[in-house]
Structure 1
């Protein structure tokens, strides 16, 4: 065997793929691990969604290959979703591409637009997959910081002072993961203008849009945005179906067509039952999100209490499924993460995996029932009393 591709040595195994093996080993030993590390919703999907999946699965004709672009009914439901929540009008035949989760969309988009040697603007801290995919395609990550005191605004003035001639793509993500910065219409407008000025494609990754936000936002709400911006969205977090792998890409027809050329060579369409479930989810009334956010508000209060016990500094008005906390000056974030797991069987995420700017931070998930969050708090309190 003549060896692996060079790209294998240039990228690491995804952190959670590796770390969750350690967590699983502890659980197999009977350790009562509380997992606040990942944002995998534990709440149940809507009843209508599960029923749509079940009823479709009972149809013997539903198990064949499906259209690469999804059914017309699914694309229409996605069109209506964008119209109802964002006021964005889309052509369901040309401007919407259903995905098997938005994570695959990051790869497909990058393959459609990047050549080796191109540069990609990536938020630091930010989703590690942006960097991994960029490096896999032999492009170069170029990181930018966020001003958390201004809802996560990028320092566009600093970026503008740099050489941007090789920059092809800029990843943005609001509500931002991991910090929870919500973003704003003003920030979107500035980013769109920046993209137009510098001939940079803006890719907005938007899976947390409904979770603990003032209101859902799309970058495509900005006038003229579709000329320079595309948006990824996902049903995983919003409808509690992360394992179903259902997402969407929306934007300019010619951009969508370029991505479809890649995607249609990578998979053979989404199971019809999942599409029917997605349609049922997208047709739900907005009260679904009101009830969902009420549950997360209650959980966040407890996660904040846990953060207080750990001495973390954090923003109480953050959005999304996580709390981003800075460790005390005398502590090391990685040491705190390891100590919590080994001594208290509480798993949280070190901020360093999201970039250099995250090295003094940790991330705590809201995806645990309240009684388990109370158990985590009690474990820390008891350890202090010894």
Structure 2
């Protein structure tokens, strides 16, 4: 056997990749598994997006290589989306970069800015990919604590006590995944000031801002943000298009151009038809968001009932595609979720997937129909 690269010694296969194999095996054995572990929207994308995709296939350029920058029309749609929903002004030519999913963006941003030995501030709990990508590149994750008593916001006093001399990037993610916490205006001002003091590039990962959230925010709206911040966004959650793999990066031209240097050497542009569909999705009216959230509101009420049946507590003021539920004292997250899978054939995510501060919590997805969630409640 050829020996693998040293970088693979520092990462494991993604938890959900491994766990879904187990779930698939259980299903093959006839187990009636209910999957409440994954945030993959099951609702339909906007009809106009699907139509635009289909109609685009007859365009002369539909099947050719596409621009590394994406269609100008798509970039303009992203700019309009940011102006209409976040009151943020961007340039379609210099401050927006379409991505083949925002997960790609995490890798490409990291490759553009990190050298081996650099350090990266990563939330605990938080999206596991921030840490795994950091390790793959030979940089060092520095985990900063998020706790319930601080509304899952970082403690900047504690951060200032750290040796930050090697820190290059800081990942933030609000509305927060997995907890659903919404950041305050003060937080954005504080993190921008913190980044300027220590010459750190902050990346706000912002895919959940329209899910059960009446006041979507972009960090780019705040004074001085473009000097030290980039923002990742996505159509996956907002428009039920996770499989389309369309994300976006917004911010300062110099930062965007650095990421483009990586991206242009890794992929050959996004498929034309997907771009045309994404354009129509981004033009969706306010009624789209109202209709989407009315579905999730009803599902969340049922997930709250399920959490209560599991003897968990939760915060009703959160947003996003999940319910972050607190277990009774002294119960371990992974042991609990394994037991629920074994006894009730319900797959839910243990909080420890997202970091050590997730111990004592579980995460339940809203991406199942009401009848399925009711069945889960009945089983418990």
TM category, shorter: over 0.9
Residues 133, 362 of structure 1: alpha-carbon distance in 2 compared, 3 angstrom cutoff: same
1:64 corresponds to which residue?
64
Alignment of 1:351-370 (within 5 A): 351-370=351-370
2:233 corresponds to which residue?
233
Offset of 1:330 from its aligned partner? 3.9
- TM-score (normalised: structure 1): 0.97
1:146 corresponds to which residue?
146
Offset of 1:229 from its aligned partner? 0.3
Alignment of 1:58-207 (within 5 A): 58-59=58-59, 61-207=61-207
Query: Are 2:326 and 1:326 equivalent residues in the alignment?
Result: yes
Offset of 1:335 from its aligned partner? 1.6
The 3-state SS of whatever aligns with 2:204 is strand
Partners of 2:359 and 2:347 in 1: CA distance:
17
Contact kept, 8 Å, 1:118 with 1:166, in 2: the verdict is: yes
CA RMSD of the aligned region, Å? 1.0
2:307 corresponds to which residue?
307
Alignment of 1:20-39 (within 5 A): 20-39=20-39
Partners of 2:319 and 2:62 in 1: CA distance:
38
2:340 corresponds to which residue?
340
The 3-state SS of whatever aligns with 2:203 is strand
Alignment of 1:201-280 (within 5 A): 201-280=201-280
Q: Structure 2 stretches of 5 or more lacking a match?
A: none
Contact kept, 8 Å, 1:151 with 1:184, in 2: the verdict is: no
Partners of 1:61 and 1:117 in 2: CA distance:
44
Residues 197-221 of structure 1: CA deviation (Å, up to 9, x unaligned): 1111000000001011131100000
2:286 corresponds to which residue?
286
1:383 corresponds to which residue?
none
Partners of 2:33 and 2:237 in 1: CA distance:
23
The 3-state SS of whatever aligns with 1:323 is strand
Residues 152, 214 of structure 1: alpha-carbon distance in 2 compared, 3 angstrom cutoff: farther
Partners of 1:184 and 1:375 in 2: CA distance:
37
Partners of 1:300 and 1:133 in 2: CA distance:
32
Contact kept, 8 Å, 1:226 with 1:252, in 2: the verdict is: yes
The 3-state SS of whatever aligns with 1:16 is helix
| Off by >6 Å, runs of 4+ in structure 1 | none
The 3-state SS of whatever aligns with 1:154 is coil
Offset of 1:147 from its aligned partner? 4.2
Q: Structure 1 stretches of 5 or more lacking a match?
A: 381-386
Partners of 1:219 and 1:43 in 2: CA distance:
28
Partners of 1:334 and 1:2 in 2: CA distance:
34
Partners of 1:336 and 1:59 in 2: CA distance:
53
Contact kept, 8 Å, 1:83 with 1:89, in 2: the verdict is: yes
1:44 corresponds to which residue?
44
Offset of 1:177 from its aligned partner? 0.3
